[in-house]
Amino acid sequence: MALLTIENLCARVGDKEILKDFSLTINPGEVHVIMGPNGSGKSTLANVIAGHPAYEVTGGRLMFKDRDVLKMTPDERANIGIFLAFQSPTELPGVGSALFLKTALNAKRQAAGEKDIDAVSFMRRLRPRATALGITDDMLKRALNVGFSGGEKKRMEMLQMAFLEPDFCMLDEIDSGLDIDALHTVSQAVNIMRESHRSFLLITHFQRLLNDITPDYIHIMMDGRIVKTGDKTLAATLEEKGYDIYR
């Protein structure tokens, strides 16, 4: 059974149609990559799956674990396992990073009928993940994303993914603004989480993210839909020839 099924999805902002009959199926354990020029609708796709209220879905179907996602609120989607690492994470002045992580985890546990995590278990879960991603105690004490560098924000997104352990992880340009070392750290975080029940959708412009992560499929997105699907070798073709041949 597919984890995520998208059929002829159409979405717009205001009068502007962005997703045009977009279709994609993702099975458990698969890693999919979407590449495409700026403005082709990659972030819109991710945001629509996450339930961003700015985007209006005007047609099509979106099923996750056999549930109709389009009827669900963003928090309900998150709590059945949908996660989006944002291209530009929002700053939350006054909201402490550690407390935020705890609140998010408890929300997920409550949705699953479990009781809140205790302080010791919380730290035991947080510490190794934060260390692996190079996130210091000082960062965890600060307000979420406030005053973080671009790279720190990206790593904080990855920490949330590692901490919440969602079944479907969308990473929107997680590689932008990262140096080689940080990129390697982020790739490791993805690889460690690859499991037979978990799937990934990576949005990127660059082949270099795929040096460490080996995807099952690469899709090229143009003007709101997938125009070409291939295996991992498609990235190299793209790097060489550019998007123009798919226009």
Ligand X SMILES: Nc1ncnc2c1ncn2[C@@H]1O[C@H](COP(=O)(O)OP(=O)(O)O)[C@@H](O)[C@H]1O
Q: Which CB, 44 or 79, lies closer to ligand X?
A: 44
Among 167, 168, 159, residue whose Cα is nearest residue 188: 159
Residue 44 interacting entry, from another protein, Mg ion, ligand X, none, C-beta within 5 to 8 Å by type: ligand X
Residue labelled with tokens 């190299």 = 236
Which CB atom, from 88 or from 211, has the smaller least distance to another protein?
Answer: 88
Q: Count Cβ atoms below 10 Å from residue 39 Cβ, excluding itself.
A: 12
Q: Which does 36 bind (CB under 5 to 8 A by kind): ligand X, another protein, Mg ion, none?
A: ligand X
| Binding flag, residue 100, another protein (CB under 8 A) | yes
The answer to whether the beta carbons of residues 4 and 63 sit under 8 Å apart is yes
DSSP 63: E
What part of residues 77-96 is at the interface with Mg ion (CB under 5 A)? 87
160 contacts ligand X (rule: CB under 6 A): no
53 contacts another protein (rule: CB under 8 A) = yes
Residue 160 interacts with another protein (CB under 8 A): yes or no: yes
| Token representation of residue 205 | 């412009």
74 binds, among Mg ion, another protein, ligand X, none (CB under 5 to 8 A by kind): another protein
Q: Work out whether 205 is an interface residue with another protein (CB under 8 A).
A: no
185 binding partner (options ligand X, another protein, Mg ion, none; Cβ < 5 to 8 Å by kind): none
Task: Tell me the β-bridge partners of 119.
Answer: none
Distances (CA, A) of 38 to 34, 41, 154, 191, 220: 12, 8, 19, 26, 12
Cα 93–Cα 188–Cα 232 angle in degrees, nearest 5: 115
> Pick from 211, 176, 218: which is nearest to 190 by CA?
211
Site for ligand X in 20-49 (CB under 6 A): 36, 38-44
The counts of H helices and E strands in the chain are 8, 10
- Confirm or reject binding of residue 185 to ligand X (CB under 6 A): no
Interface with another protein (CB under 8 A), residue from 22, 64, 86, 200: 86
Which positions lie near another protein, rule CB under 8 A? 50-53, 73-75, 77-79, 83-84, 86, 89-90, 92-95, 100, 103-104, 107-108, 111, 143, 160, 164
